[in-house]
């Protein structure tokens, strides 16, 4: 019989250790080593030279064909995937519990089944009756969708080879187990080996796999970090599950851009696409209120208009309080220091609260000018014109630096009815005049503050 021994695996990088340590010696992360019992195996035999059938191919001799992507008929998802599903690819979808991962993939199965494509949905967490109840809420399904409740990868592999579907959904990877691995389902070894087995099926059979992954309290997919390196695409669902909207963000994509996002709204019948996120984010904007300004951020090729809110008031204690929601806290402190040093505003004794309305998180430097103007508007208690939008990066010298895709931002603002746009002078000089919207170029924050106040 094979002897069992204890190995400690790092949940962050997958490194192995014979004893527990507080810090992983490989990635230097703390408290990431977990204990697992594994079976010792015989050493691998040496490879005979006559058995080697691998062939070295020169790059110039490889012929490529244009990849055909499978459209899901969900425009937001197709955008994040880079145009659709690539055959033989593996997509990892992660997110908080209840965020809508299973619902989204079931909707994908519905649209693909309507096109006559053969789909296999494998669930290790729900029964067939539970999936049926959720499917009836989404809509009517065709016979092209098959369901399987199984966690044994050997059985799943045989069924996949027998049925040969075009798309396979695994819900979730933490419930799958390989009989050759002695540890329990969901452990580091099981997740790594299960993903490797599914990857071999995807590449060998040319079947696209979607696997759902649980996330930890830090917001990353549970299991070893090597899991994200193995798959082709990593998608994360963001947003508060108690709120109406969801954001699907591409973290890794071998077949497209990683800067695109998809915006969805959760409804009783499933997830609905939000085709105009800017209009959605600006809904309910107060009129005539100080400390509120509209800024523009870019997510991939999509400009998104959002409301930046600020509240500045004198502190009643010796140490002022600073809070940032939806943007980087340290960035807000940096911009307040720029206002105090370069503009002369005495904000050192003031509490400051900055919020990106709608709960969305944006860290692009282009919203710096929006944060600055919102802080000044609240500090001076002077509202900014509702038809004014701004964008630009602010440096430590108080200069307003250029940002990319300025013309697309201005066109999006014009489409939503804004009449004035404050932007960096460098970006304005490189643009042509756009009819219907007034462009105000500024070189530093003083110029921008002078204009709005």
Cite the annotated binding site by residue number.
95-102
Tell me the backbone φ, ψ of residue 244, rounded to 5 degrees. -85, -25
Strands (E), 130-232: 145-149, 167-171, 208-213
* Residue list, annotated binding site for ATP: 95-102
Measured torsion, CA atoms of residues 252, 257, 263, 268, in degrees rounded to the nearest 10 = -60
| CA dist., res. 107 & res. 269, Å (int) | 10
- Chain-centroid distance, C-alpha 417: 29
Cα separations (Å) of 32 from 177, 193, 387? 22, 19, 50
> Which run of H or E residues covers position 93?
strand 90-95
Q: Which candidate, 348, 352, 440, places its Cα nearest to that of 392?
A: 440
Give SS3 for 19: coil
Segment 64-68 long-range contacts (CB within 8 Å, at least 24 positions apart):
67/255
d(CA 66, CA 211): 25
153 within 8 A of 197, measured Cβ to Cβ: yes
């Amino acid at each position: 019989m094979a002897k069992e021994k204890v190995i400690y695996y790092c949940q962050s990088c997958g490194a192995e250790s014979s004893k527990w340590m507080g810090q992983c010696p490989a990635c230097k992360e703390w408290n990431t080593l977990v204990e697992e019992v594994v079976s010792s195996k015989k050493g691998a035999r040496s490879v005979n030279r006559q058995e080697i059938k691998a062939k070295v191919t020169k790059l110039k001799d490889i012929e490529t064909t244009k990849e055909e992507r499978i459209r899901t008929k969900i425009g937001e998802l197709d955008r994040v995937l880079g145009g659709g599903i690539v055959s033989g690819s593996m997509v990892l979808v992660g997110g908080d519990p209840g965020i809508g991962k299973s619902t989204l993939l079931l909707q994908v199965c519905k649209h693909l089944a309507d096109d006559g494509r053969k789909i296999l949905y494998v669930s290790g967490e729900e029964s067939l009756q539970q999936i049926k109840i959720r499917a009836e809420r989404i809509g009517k399904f065709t016979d092209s969708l098959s369901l399987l409740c199984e966690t044994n990868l050997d059985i799943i592999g045989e069924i996949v080879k027998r049925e040969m579907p075009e798309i396979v959904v695994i819900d979730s990877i933490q419930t799958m187990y390989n009989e050759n691995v002695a540890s329990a389902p969901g452990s580091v070894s099981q997740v790594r080996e299960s993903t490797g087995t599914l990857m071999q099926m995807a590449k060998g059979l040319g079947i696209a796999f979607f696997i759902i992954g649980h996330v930890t309290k830090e917001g990353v997919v549970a299991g070893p970090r090597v899991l994200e390196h193995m798959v082709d695409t990593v998608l994360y669902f963001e947003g508060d599950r108690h709120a109406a909207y969801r954001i699907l963000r591409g973290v890794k994509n071998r077949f497209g851009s990683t800067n695109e996002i998809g915006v969805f709204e959760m409804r009783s019948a499933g997830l609905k696409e939000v085709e105009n996120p800017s209009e959605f984010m600006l809904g309910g904007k107060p009129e005539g209120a100080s400390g509120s300004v509209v800024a523009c951020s870019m997510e991939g090729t999509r400009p998104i208009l959002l409301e930046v809110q600020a509240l500045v008031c004198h502190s009643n204690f010796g140490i002022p309080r600073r809070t940032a929601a939806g943007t980087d806290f340290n960035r807000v402190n940096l911009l307040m220091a720029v206002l105090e040093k370069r503009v002369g505003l005495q904000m050192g004794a003031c509490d400051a609260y900055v919020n990106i309305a709608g709960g969305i998180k944006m860290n692009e430097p282009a919203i710096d000018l929006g944060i600055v103007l919102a802080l000044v508007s609240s500090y001076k208690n002077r509202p900014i014109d509702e038809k004014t939008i701004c964008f630009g990066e602010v440096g430590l010298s108080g200069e307003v630096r250029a940002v990319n895709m300025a013309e697309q931002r201005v066109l999006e603002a014009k489409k939503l009815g804004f009449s004035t746009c404050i932007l960096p002078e460098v970006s304005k000089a490189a643009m042509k005049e756009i009819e219907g919207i007034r462009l105000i170029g500024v070189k530093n924050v003083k110029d921008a503050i002078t204009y709005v106040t």
